[in-house]
Amino acid sequence: MQAKDEAEIADIVRSAKGPLSIVGGGTRRAAASGEHLCTSGLTGISVYEPGALTLVVRAGTPVAEIEGVLAAERQRLAFEVPDMRGLMGRAGASTIGGVVAVNASGPRRIQAGACRDSLLGVRFVDGRGEVIKNGGRVMKNVTGYDLVKLMAGSQGTLGVLTEVSFRVQAIPEAEATLVVPVADAAAGVAVLSRALGSPYDVTGAAYDGRALVRIEGMAGSVTYRAQALQALIGGEIVTVAASAALWRAVRDVQPLQGVTGAIWRISVKPTDGPVVLATLGAVPHLLDWGGGLLWVALPDDRAAALALRDTVNRLGGHATRLRGIAGVPDVHPEAAPVAALTQALRHQFDPKGLFNPGQLATA
């Protein structure tokens, strides 16, 4: 079903007899069962105030369109929306609602925050078919509970997002990346930690076989900081298009595109990234977020999945499977009391169990 506006979505939800699977641009894996409810008809920018750094946009709007409008004012979404099509082997165009639903965030996560940190407000239709709004379009807002955070990353389990608002950011006039040769992932993360512990305002810190450290800002400042960082961690300075290409590759997980097996995305404490990797043997991998975000391709079997989850449980963090089928849930199971709260919240927002029933399933 394709809805053209919020009221229509509310009608569909109110009269739904069985599960609904919410689909934005269809670039990620959708819920396994349920009638498709497509939001791509809800498009358009409602408010864009470059001088206030704020954007309000309907949930079905393609990300590419938003990025174009922002770029015309030399602005952007700070959290660097990843393009997962190459990795997932899918076509389609990401919608902004889908981005929010999975809290998708790229390399700048470590400095500018995740999608959830840029998100200022939401409107959504809950499982009762009621329109709920929370947050707004101002940067500071502590009025009532922060359902905005709850909706970011909720994977469509609490409601259908219809409108979202963001704080946006100016595109800096310059960027540079230090490319530092290192022996292995542990050495790479040590370099990243040193850079992130400096006052040079690093906006990207990844390991793809080399340590990559990005800075952005005014031209003079970038030159100064690139040299200061070089004195600290060594390496070669890359600028302009070459620098941008390096970070596009990290953002979109290019090193893992086209590989076979299960794809895992693991969030741990930065220095634990190499520790997890060491338990996996020689597998295709990429580290972002200073070491705290580990992408790996593993054999698609249950034993490998369980072993990985064990390691991550021991260290603290979570491992999500983006591709693969072998008998474990995609989402990392949480401790029993937290899982109970999650289930109870889902029941509150969606008492009939309509939304993405298979999503966030942990058992």
Partner 1 sequence: MEMPRPNPGVMSDKARIIAGLRAILPDDAVISDPLETRAYECDGLAAYRCTPLAVVLPRSTDEVAGVMRLCHAMGVPVVPRGSGTSLAGGAMPTADCVVLGVGRMTAVLETDYANRLVRVQSGRTNLSVTGAVEADGWFYAPDPSSQLACAIAGNIAMNSGGAHCLKYGVTTNNLLGVTVVLMDGRVITLGGGHLDAPGLDLLGIICGSEGQLGVVTEATLRILPKPEGARPILLGFAANEVAGACVADIIKAGILPVAIEFMDRPCIRVCEEYAKAGYPDCEALLIVEVEGAPGEIDEQLSRIKAIAARHDPVEMRESQSAEEAGRIWLGRKSAFSAIGRVADYMCLDGTIPVNELPFVLRRIAELSDEYGLRVANVFHAGDGNMHPLIMFDANTPGDLEKCEALGAEILKLCVAVGGCLTGEHGVGIEKRDLMGVQFAAADMEAQMRVKDVFDPKWLLNPAKVFPLAVTASRRAG
Interaction residues for partner 1, span 235-254 (CB under 8 A): none
**Nearest to partner 1 of 252, 330 (CB atom):** 330
**Nearest to partner 1 of 257, 320 (CB atom):** 320
Nearest residue to 293 via CA among 304, 285, 301, 305: 285
Residues 162-191 close enough to bind partner 1 by CB under 8 A: 170-173, 190
User: Does 7 help bind partner 1 (rule: CB under 8 A)?
Assistant: no
Q: What's the CA gap between 250 and 272, in Å, rounded?
A: 19
Closest approach of partner 1 to the CB of residue 202, in Å:
10
Q: Which stretch binds partner 1 (CB under 8 A): 23-31, 57-65, 82-90, 141-149?
A: 141-149
Total interface residues for partner 1 by CB under 8 A:
90
Q: Which stretch binds partner 1 (CB under 8 A): 30-38, 142-150, 248-256, 279-287?
A: 142-150
Token reading at 51: 């001088």
Closest approach of partner 1 to the CB of residue 110, in Å:
8
Residues 8-47 close enough to bind partner 1 by CB under 8 A: none
User: Does 314 help bind partner 1 (rule: CB under 8 A)?
Assistant: no
Binding residue (CB under 8 A) for partner 1 from 11, 45, 209, 224: 224
Closest approach of partner 1 to the CB of residue 91, in Å:
27
User: Does 270 help bind partner 1 (rule: CB under 8 A)?
Assistant: yes
User: Does 231 help bind partner 1 (rule: CB under 8 A)?
Assistant: no
Binding residue (CB under 8 A) for partner 1 from 72, 259, 278, 344: 344
Residues 75-114 close enough to bind partner 1 by CB under 8 A: 103, 105, 109-110, 113-114
What secondary structure, in 3-state letters, does the chain show? CECCCHHHHHHHHHHCCCCEEEECCCCCCCCCCCEEEECCCCCCEEEEEHHHCEEEEECCCEHHHHHHHHHHCCEECCCCCCCCHHHHCCCCCCEHHHHHHCCCCCCCHHHHCCHHHHEEEEEEEECCCCEEEEECCCCCCCCCCCHHHHHCCCCCCCEEEEEEEEECEECCCEEEEEEEECCCHHHHHHHHHHHHCCCCCEEEEEECCEEEEEEEECHHHHHHHHHHHHHHHCCEEEEHHHHHHHHHHHHCCHHHCCCCCEEEEEEECHHHHHHHHHCCCCCCEEEEHHHCEEEEEECCCHHHHHHHHHHHHHHCEEEEEEECCCCCCCCCCCCHHHHHHHHHHHHHHCCCCCECCCCCCCC
User: Does 323 help bind partner 1 (rule: CB under 8 A)?
Assistant: no
Q: Which stretch binds partner 1 (CB under 8 A): 25-33, 38-46, 153-161, 231-239?
A: 153-161
Binding residue (CB under 8 A) for partner 1 from 77, 196, 296, 305: 196
Closest approach of partner 1 to the CB of residue 219, in Å:
8
User: Does 348 help bind partner 1 (rule: CB under 8 A)?
Assistant: yes
Q: Which stretch binds partner 1 (CB under 8 A): 25-33, 239-247, 252-260, 327-335?
A: 327-335
Q: What's the CA gap between 264 and 309, in Å, rounded?
A: 11
Q: Which stretch binds partner 1 (CB under 8 A): 12-20, 30-38, 178-186, 213-221?
A: 213-221
